[in-house]
Structure 1
């Protein structure tokens, strides 16, 4: 398949590129400063904080799917990057009539209100007692602006008319690929507090060919 991978030099993005190349896919890697990527990968330099739309549009042209690992390096300082960049990706895909997109969000996003979804559930149905009454408050106190931006990002996809899927992992780790993880649709994973970045990438690639995941939010955790 022809895949365009956005934020290809980030923590999840690198795994996406490496695993996609190993799987025999034709990969276009989009990053602000693409470097140190595997041979055989077409690289495109795009700063998604100030995207050059003709370049981004060319990067998604002809793709069977776009996979975005876009996110801030510092969630406290860089809130806004993900929604801004995702709007640009969606616009480029719409211009090129590319339909399939899978993005990374985060597990605590569910209860965050946005203009298109002003009254979300008070708690995610997959969260246990501690997460509902302590974990969510703590994470939103620390990274509230970031989660609010991810909620806007998810709403951008819902409104896009594209064939979208959102992956919502909890805490990300740098442990090696296991290929063994739990998933659940439209809910977090009970007792799932972390997952390797490599496994998130593995699951995103798997979902490209799973039409049942279209227009679904999918929780993932070990």
Structure 2
């Protein structure tokens, strides 16, 4: 499969890259700082310099793909960002207008608080997490709202706190539903799920919540 990968310099993106190449996929990475990518040596990997918020030759590479995995993110908590919303839509525009385009993108479980969430976790999420990441969360909401109006096969994956623990292969998901006690997930498990969900039609035009297993 030909995969276009965004956000490969981040922890989850690096896991997706390693696992995708190991699985034999042809992967094209768009990155502002290609030198920061720790990548395996592979003839099936192409790295294209570019910023998805700006015009550039990266659009030619994007036009060659129908499947994109987005691990885009911002580490700047002090200022507003548009990397989730505008960055994602810019890539989709460069890919063309085919309704068969496939997009899986990362969002956050912290955007909404399930009524089943334990009281202490609910308080921490509302008073600490949502305030700390308010700029990123605001842009994730814009991204999610925009994707729901697009003619393509999208999947929004809402993940809880990410860890660098070894993969377990044990995780839970809920499609268009809240997930009880969603606390953490290893980046390696999240990456594995993203790749496995590409052909999962039950996740098309759906929001998936994910967390580590019980």
* Contact 1:65/1:101 (8 A) holds in 2: yes
Alignment of 1:86-125 (within 5 A): 86-95=88-97, 99-110=101-112, 123-124=113-114
* Contact 2:158/2:208 (8 A) holds in 1: yes
Find 2:208's aligned residue among 194, 208, 218: 218
Deviations 1:174-213 (A, max 9, x none): 1122221111112343222111111111111010010110
Query: 1:37 maps to which residue?
Result: 39
* Contact 2:176/2:208 (8 A) holds in 1: yes
Please give the secondary structure, in 1, of the residue aligned with 2:210: strand
Query: 1:47 maps to which residue?
Result: 51
Tell me how far apart the structure 2 counterparts of residues 130 and 94 of structure 1 sit (CA, whole Å). 46
| Residue 128 of structure 1, CA deviation | 3.7
* Contact 1:106/1:167 (8 A) holds in 2: yes
Tell me how far apart the structure 2 counterparts of residues 133 and 202 of structure 1 sit (CA, whole Å). 31
Deviations 1:43-87 (A, max 9, x none): 1111123242xx233222332410000010233435322212112
| Shift in alpha-carbon separation, 1:93–1:145, aligned structure 2, 3 A | same
Please give the secondary structure, in 2, of the residue aligned with 1:89: helix
Tell me how far apart the structure 1 counterparts of residues 203 and 209 of structure 2 sit (CA, whole Å). 11
Aligned-residue RMSD, C-alpha: 2.0
Query: 1:166 maps to which residue?
Result: 156
Find 1:146's aligned residue among 133, 136, 142: 136
Structure 2: which 5+ residue stretches go unaligned?
Answer: none
Structure 1: which 5+ residue stretches go unaligned?
Answer: 111-122
* Larger displacement relative to structure 2 (140-149 or 96-105): 96-105
Please give the secondary structure, in 2, of the residue aligned with 1:183: strand
| Shift in alpha-carbon separation, 1:164–1:198, aligned structure 2, 3 A | same
Please give the secondary structure, in 1, of the residue aligned with 2:96: helix
